[in-house]
Structure 1
């Protein structure tokens, strides 16, 4: 089945031009002729075109997620859906698992369903597939990664600063040898969190040679491997884990090995989960503002739809909350 990108390539126009044509906008006669010919030649959803796609709003928002299996992601979807329903909008959810090629297919899927806007979760601006969204004439909003297009809003959290504050606390309590289980440094969020670790060491003047970093892949299994690796580094006295699933793996190893948090090892991690309240001691965690992000994303998207996508894009930064507990203690 042909995609909107293939139609644009065949016609020699931008994806945005194809989108506007399908949405009923009037373009230059030559471009309209080229696009119509491409649609016919590639058999691109002619039935939708015949119906006059976008003659009225679908009351549906596309939500395109990266990783959907984390506690943070599932909570985010639930909150955005709850807020959208208050204004009579439904969500069409899809995922791309960090794969740009899959991202393109999913965008085509959402556009073919006549969504009134698209919310992206952790899509990277440098991907060519994301660059192609620049000319789309529907509201687009990005969560957790900045997309610096003229009309695109980006909702971010202060990942770097939050991580820096946790590491500074560990350093102040005498933990110079800190182990970090980080995500691959391929995406914006992973880079921000690890950069906060490095910034803390630089601020206090402690050599970064004291750091031990294990690169996981966001999975619980990589958290288990990372924990096993850090245990082998006998001098490491404090751990920081950069996401929820890897934290679960690390905590499993800690308890299987009989390591006492706050005594044998200081520990902190990203993403709040309810079980962190029943650990002994309770876990120090970086809690992301899920409710605030969901409400802001929904309200901004609805506002952009009502204003016919004429609002300029903004970058909006929210603050994480650090729940300081006794899993971090003096060395």
Structure 2
């Protein structure tokens, strides 16, 4: 197995230069290219365990998920693991099943395993429950909930603004009654997406009917039942589903009634995950910036691990709103 001395000899540089390069410290470009070439030729893999013992570091990041089966989390963790491996870190993934007590227990567990940082995916957790998060001596990043703590980073997307943009486009298309299928209002994400629907009406001084709001579980079945309720009332001419699973359930209800999005009923949803273009016309969707979220997690974690104590707070990313003909429909109630 190759070692640092062999890499140094083949690269024509000192052992110290190789060590600095492998530990992420900048060296001269020519030396970096030579070392990189030899590392690849020898298929060198650093001894993480040995390095951890030498430096008293675990080179591990704990990743806590409120629901590992959630498509939002699933679309993030693969890239997150790959990006952590790129900087010689491993990830320890744990599902806390949306239970805040379990979350606190798992944080203690991760600290006992000497992880150097923790990331929490918390879209299905009440933001107020997260106020009990302890102040840790390691970096902590929360995804999908803004945090009030002075030394906890959080990442959110523009849930309200992007929802408002889509619902506004539906109102501009002539719809007056747009049924909204929204998640629990105990969660930050659920509240913000419903606020976006409300703001679209308020900005146009249009009347928003409470009966056009359906709050339900963030599941396919929840979306199906909510859509059935809205469609069977016979008043709405369009539907907006607030997440991927709700959209699937709502589309099932639409299809059962022989309706076609973009022709018989307007339709749009938050989230995409590569399914919207299987419909014709393709569905109007709000796409979350998944790559940006992961890249920001990595960059923020890197800064915190290096001791940067500046700019703690909530970082908001912008979603991509994709408007299509699916928001159009004949405007008589079904």
TM-score bracket, shorter-length normalisation: 0.7 to 0.9
Structure 1: any 5+ residue segments left out of the alignment? Answer: 1-52
Classify the secondary structure of the residue corresponding to 1:69: coil
Q: State how far apart, in whole Å, the 2-side matches of 1:263 and 1:125 are.
A: 39
Q: Cα offset for 1:109?
A: 2.1
- Contact conserved, 2:104 with 2:133, CA < 8 A, in 1? no
**Structure having greater relative contact order (Cα 8 Å, sep ≥ 6):** 1
Classify the secondary structure of the residue corresponding to 1:149: coil
Q: Cα offset for 1:126?
A: 2.3
Residue 228 of structure 2 corresponds to 228
Q: Cα offset for 1:226?
A: 1.0
Alpha carbons of structure 1 residues 106 and 130: separation in structure 2 relative to 1, 3 Å = farther
Classify the secondary structure of the residue corresponding to 2:275: helix
Classify the secondary structure of the residue corresponding to 2:148: coil
1:178-217 matched pairs, under 5 angstroms: 178-209=178-209, 212-217=212-217
Residue 321 of structure 2 corresponds to 322
Residue 258 of structure 1 corresponds to 258
Classify the secondary structure of the residue corresponding to 1:274: coil
Residue 131 of structure 1 corresponds to 132
1:151-166 matched pairs, under 5 angstroms: 151-166=151-166
Q: State how far apart, in whole Å, the 2-side matches of 1:176 and 1:106 are.
A: 47
Q: State how far apart, in whole Å, the 2-side matches of 1:72 and 1:125 are.
A: 18
- The C-alpha deviation readout for 1:124-144, integer Å capped at 9, x for no partner, is 4522x642422x111111111
Q: Cα offset for 1:275?
A: 2.1
- The C-alpha deviation readout for 1:31-79, integer Å capped at 9, x for no partner, is xxxxxxxxxxxxxxxxxxxxxx997111111111122222221011112
Deviates more, 1:106-115 or 1:169-178: 106-115
Q: State how far apart, in whole Å, the 2-side matches of 1:312 and 1:261 are.
A: 44
Residue 74 of structure 1 corresponds to 74
Q: State how far apart, in whole Å, the 2-side matches of 1:183 and 1:267 are.
A: 17
Q: State how far apart, in whole Å, the 2-side matches of 1:152 and 1:240 are.
A: 33
Q: State how far apart, in whole Å, the 1-side matches of 2:214 and 2:181 are.
A: 5
CA RMSD across the alignment: 2.0
Q: State how far apart, in whole Å, the 2-side matches of 1:184 and 1:316 are.
A: 23
- Contact conserved, 1:58 with 1:114, CA < 8 A, in 2? yes
Residue 109 of structure 1 corresponds to 109
Deviates more, 1:116-125 or 1:192-201: 116-125
- The C-alpha deviation readout for 1:171-229, integer Å capped at 9, x for no partner, is 11111111111001001111000001111111111112275111111111111111211
Residue 12 of structure 2 corresponds to none
Largest Rg, 1 or 2: 2
Matched, 1:244 2:249: no
Q: State how far apart, in whole Å, the 1-side matches of 2:114 and 2:306 are.
A: 16
Deviates more, 1:193-202 or 1:60-69: 60-69
Alpha carbons of structure 1 residues 64 and 130: separation in structure 2 relative to 1, 3 Å = farther
Residue 148 of structure 2 corresponds to 148
Residue 289 of structure 2 corresponds to 289
- The C-alpha deviation readout for 1:239-269, integer Å capped at 9, x for no partner, is 0000111111111222232211111100000
Structure 2: any 5+ residue segments left out of the alignment? Answer: 1-52
Residue 86 of structure 2 corresponds to 86
- Contact conserved, 1:145 with 1:154, CA < 8 A, in 2? yes
- Contact conserved, 2:126 with 2:186, CA < 8 A, in 1? no
Q: State how far apart, in whole Å, the 2-side matches of 1:210 and 1:175 are.
A: 16
Residue 219 of structure 1 corresponds to 219
Q: State how far apart, in whole Å, the 1-side matches of 2:311 and 2:319 are.
A: 26
Classify the secondary structure of the residue corresponding to 2:200: helix
